[in-house]
């Protein structure tokens, strides 16, 4: 994923492994299946993935797309790409470190660009969209998703609220500020237009369910498998386990002490170049 301290979150250390183990099956897998199916319906010969993270969408693209479609999967974070490559895909893809604000590809290189839950992290979204438009061929498609507001994503909201109790003077706001901070549809349209996309984007709001065997799973996923960990440790390095336990207790209070089931929701956006 892309971005930038609290302005540029770090997906490093143990975060990529915890992210892949806990967060991917918790919230990313259903939306990766959806995006891969949408990409498979496009008449394409190659596709560029941005903010590939640990490769959940990449793996789905490798399964859904014909073997003749060339896949390049990129991310700003090399540790995330290393985790993705260690898991691998069912057929070869090209893994490449790249910044969405300065893509290392020629003009009109790709039939499609796809991005799963990465646009929220682009520090200059209009510039990133302009770069995407530059590398797309005429008639090419940008396909991406972005989380809806935190209130429509119940596990994330419960964790966010729990940390207010742990750090009342300065609660870490990563979840509300970044993953769930780019949900306004008019803002999406405006940024795409500023990036040079003149076609009207198709925007679908897609709900799903997030399930886990216990509240411990989402607590660890969010507190230790995202850059929220860095914000917690920046406030008090000794409180990571305390914060995780508080999140788990809040989740248990809201969803129960056995298996947990919460609502998640995202916008899916498609626009032609």
- Residue 9 burial (CB count, 10 A): 24
Q: Can you tell me the distance from the alpha carbon of 172 to that of 229, in angstroms, rounded to the nearest whole number?
A: 9
pLDDT digits (tens, 9 = 90+) for 193-203: 999 999 999 99
Q: Can you tell me the distance from the alpha carbon of 257 to that of 248, in angstroms, rounded to the nearest whole number?
A: 9
Instruction: Determine the pLDDT at residue 10.
Output: 55
**Portion of the chain with pLDDT greater than 70, in percent:** 95
Q: Can you tell me the distance from the alpha carbon of 100 to that of 106, in angstroms, rounded to the nearest whole number?
A: 13
Instruction: Determine the pLDDT at residue 11.
Output: 58
With a cut of 80, say whether residue 214 has pLDDT above it: yes
Contact predicate 55/84, CB 8 Å: yes
Classified as helix, coil or strand, 106 is coil
With a cut of 80, say whether residue 46 has pLDDT above it: yes
CA 206 from centroid of its chain's CA atoms? 15
> What structural domains does the chain harbor?
15-272 (3.40.50.150)
Q: Whole-prediction pTM value?
A: 0.93
Helices 154-166 and 228-235: crossing angle, nearest 10°? 10
Q: Which residues pair with 142 in a beta bridge?
A: 113, 271
DSSP code string of 176-235: HHTTTS---HHHHHHHHHHTT--SPPEEEEEEEEEEESSTHHHHHHHHHSSTHHHHHHHH
Q: Which residues pair with 79 in a beta bridge?
A: none
pLDDT digits (tens, 9 = 90+) for 76-104: 999 999 999 999 999 999 999 999 999 99
Mean local confidence (pLDDT), 47-59? 97
pLDDT tier for residue 15 given thresholds of 50, 70 and 90: confident
Mean local confidence (pLDDT), 26-33? 97
Contact predicate 226/19, CB 8 Å: yes
């Amino acid at each position: 994923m892309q971005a930038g301290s609290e302005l540029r979150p770090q997906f490093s250390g143990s975060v990529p492994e915890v992210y892949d183990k806990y967060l991917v099956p918790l919230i990313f897998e259903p939306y990766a299946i959806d995006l891969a199916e949408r990409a498979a319906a496009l008449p394409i010969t190659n596709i560029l993935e941005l903010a590939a993270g640990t490769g959940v969408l990449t793996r789905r693209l490798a399964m859904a797309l014909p073997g003749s479609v060339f896949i390049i999967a990129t991310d700003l974070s090399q540790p995330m790409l290393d985790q993705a490559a260690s898991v691998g895909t069912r057929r070869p893809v090209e893994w490449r470190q790249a910044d969405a604000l300065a893509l290392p590809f020629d003009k009109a290189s790709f039939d499609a660009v796809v991005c799963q839950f990465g646009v929220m992290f682009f520090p200059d979204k209009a510039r990133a969209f302009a770069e995407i438009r530059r590398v797309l061929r005429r008639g090419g498609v940008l396909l991406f998703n972005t989380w809806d507001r935190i209130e429509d994503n119940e596990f994330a909201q419960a964790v966010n609220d729990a940390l207010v109790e742990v750090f009342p003077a300065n609660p870490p706001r990563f979840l509300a500020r970044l993953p769930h901070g780019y949900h306004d549809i008019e803002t999406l349209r405006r940024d795409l237009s500023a990036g040079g996309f003149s076609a009207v984007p198709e925007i679908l709001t897609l709900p799903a369910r997030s399930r886990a065997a216990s509240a411990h799973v989402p607590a660890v996923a969010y507190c230790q498998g995202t850059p929220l960990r860095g914000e917690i440790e920046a406030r008090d390095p000794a409180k990571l386990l305390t914060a995780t336990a508080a999140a788990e207790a809040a989740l248990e209070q809201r969803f129960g002490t056995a298996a947990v089931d919460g609502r998640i929701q995202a916008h899916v956006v498609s626009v032609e170049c």
